């Protein structure tokens, strides 16, 4: 990283009025320190992306921007979800900066990791992933489901970084390449590794939320996992094909066995077999239909090619004074 590179820190926000004052204070202190030491340019910014919040989040972002030009804001026209909000922020600022760092607005990502990101970038990395040291702060259920998710993704051939969420650094070159991705269904954790430039990982400790409630309940986490798997791998369809072949083979073998028994005069109660076979086939068909439907639905959304988001307002000033 050259001296005085322009850094934009991008933070998606949804109903974060409780945590925003503390988040802005900590990031202001960190950014001012980086500017004073010459690690980054005075044109660097902290960019909050409001994802259609229903509380005072956008009002507070406007106030921060009016008080100090260090803060910028991007307001989406409506709620589009974390992945779209983060992507919108990155694409909006990519032509104004040399590097971006994306973080969560809830202060769970350690602000101190920014220094490690910049160090790795100065060594030639275009992408630097923030990786959690451990998940000791998570509940047993959340920890177990997270490990299961990463294992399933790996088994299905999806390239991802273990214990990495969306805390990462990306260079201007990486952002330009990233902007070429045209899919509607976004799963950034799987998309960024596809850029292919030099990358490394740095570890940090993820803290509990400073305030407010998680915007990623189990339902949204499940949706994110499903989106990630079906967006990057055709393995589920292949598994169903294999399963269907195995079941069909077993059914054929069972039919031959029953035929042989019947030829030797052995009475076979067929009712139980028929019921089991019926439910097995019905379950297999329903599962297959569901998975195929998921892929067809995604293909339908991609074909429509509707915009991922609309920017209602972009607050940004290149004047560092105020």
Q: Do 122 and 186 fall within a single domain?
A: yes
What does the pLDDT read at residue 322? 42
Terminal-to-terminal C-alpha distance of the chain: 27
Domain that includes residue 95, residue range: 7-213+307-315
Domain annotation covers residue 81: yes
CATH number of the domain that residue 11 is part of = 3.90.550.10
What does the pLDDT read at residue 177? 93
C-alpha to C-alpha distance for 305 and 212, rounded to whole angstroms: 35
Q: Do 208 and 248 fall within a single domain?
A: no
| Percent of the residues in the chain that have a pLDDT greater than 70, as a whole number | 65
Domain annotation covers residue 29: yes
Q: Do 20 and 62 fall within a single domain?
A: yes
C-alpha to C-alpha distance for 55 and 79, rounded to whole angstroms: 13
C-alpha to C-alpha distance for 138 and 134, rounded to whole angstroms: 9
Q: Which pTM was predicted? A: 0.71
Q: Do 249 and 193 fall within a single domain?
A: no
CB 137, CB 45: distance < 8 Å? no
Domain count, the chain: 2
What does the pLDDT read at residue 97? 94
State the average pLDDT for the chain: 80
What does the pLDDT read at residue 320? 45
pLDDT of the chain along its 322 residues, tens only?
455 799 999 999 999 999 999 999 999 999 999 999 999 999 999 999 999 999 999 999 999 999 998 999 999 999 988 889 999 999 999 999 999 999 988 878 888 899 999 999 999 999 999 988 876 656 666 666 666 766 766 676 666 777 787 899 999 999 999 999 887 778 788 788 888 899 999 988 776 555 555 555 556 666 666 666 666 565 666 666 667 667 666 666 766 776 777 677 666 666 656 756 776 676 677 667 767 766 776 676 667 677 888 999 999 876 444 4
Domain annotation covers residue 148: yes
What does the pLDDT read at residue 176? 94
Is residue 100 helix, strand or coil? strand
Q: Do 126 and 275 fall within a single domain?
A: no
Domain annotation covers residue 218: no
pLDDT tens, 221-247? 666 666 666 665 656 666 666 676 676
Domain annotation covers residue 1: no
Domain annotation covers residue 226: no
Domain annotation covers residue 224: no
C-alpha to C-alpha distance for 232 and 183, rounded to whole angstroms: 11
* Cβ neighbours of residue 232 closer than 8 Å, sequence gap 6 or more: 153, 156, 157, 158, 159, 187, 190
For tokens 């009025």, what's the residue? Answer: 17
Q: Do 285 and 205 fall within a single domain?
A: no
Q: Do 244 and 113 fall within a single domain?
A: no
């Amino acid at each position: 990283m050259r001296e005085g590179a322009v850094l934009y820190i991008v933070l998606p926000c949804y109903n974060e009025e409780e945590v925003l004052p503390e988040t802005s204070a900590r990031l202001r202190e960190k950014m001012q320190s980086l500017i004073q030491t010459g690690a980054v340019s005075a044109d660097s910014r902290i960019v909050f992306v409001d994802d259609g919040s229903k509380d005072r989040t956008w009002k507070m972002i406007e106030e921060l921007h009016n008080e100090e030009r260090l803060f910028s804001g991007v307001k989406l026209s409506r709620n589009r979800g974390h992945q779209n909000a983060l992507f919108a922020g990155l694409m909006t600022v990519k032509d104004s900066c040399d590097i971006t760092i994306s973080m969560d607005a809830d202060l769970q990502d350690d602000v101190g990791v920014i220094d490690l990101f910049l160090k790795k970038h100065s060594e030639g990395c275009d992408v630097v992933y923030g990786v959690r040291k451990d998940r000791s702060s998570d509940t047993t259920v959340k920890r177990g489901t997270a490990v299961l998710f990463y294992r399933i993704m790996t088994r299905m051939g999806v390239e991802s970084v273990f214990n990495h969420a969306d805390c990462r650094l990306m260079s201007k070159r990486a952002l330009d390449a990233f902007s070429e991705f045209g899919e509607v269904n976004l799963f950034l954790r799987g998309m960024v590794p596809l850029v292919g430039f030099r990358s490394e990982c740095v570890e940090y400790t993820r803290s509990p939320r400073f305030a407010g409630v998680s915007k990623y309940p189990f339902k949204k986490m499940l949706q994110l996992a499903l989106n990630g798997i079906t967006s990057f791998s055709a393995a589920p369809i292949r598994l169903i094909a294999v399963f269907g072949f195995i079941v069909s083979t077993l059914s054929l073998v069972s039919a031959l066995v029953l035929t042989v028994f019947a030829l030797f005069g052995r009475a076979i109660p067929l009712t139980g077999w028929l019921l089991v076979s019926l439910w097995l086939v019905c379950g297999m068909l329903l599962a297959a239909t569901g998975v195929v439907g998921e892929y067809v639905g995604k293909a339908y959304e991609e074909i429509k090619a509707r915009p991922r988001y609309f920017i209602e307002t972009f607050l940004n000033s290149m004047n560092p004074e105020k």
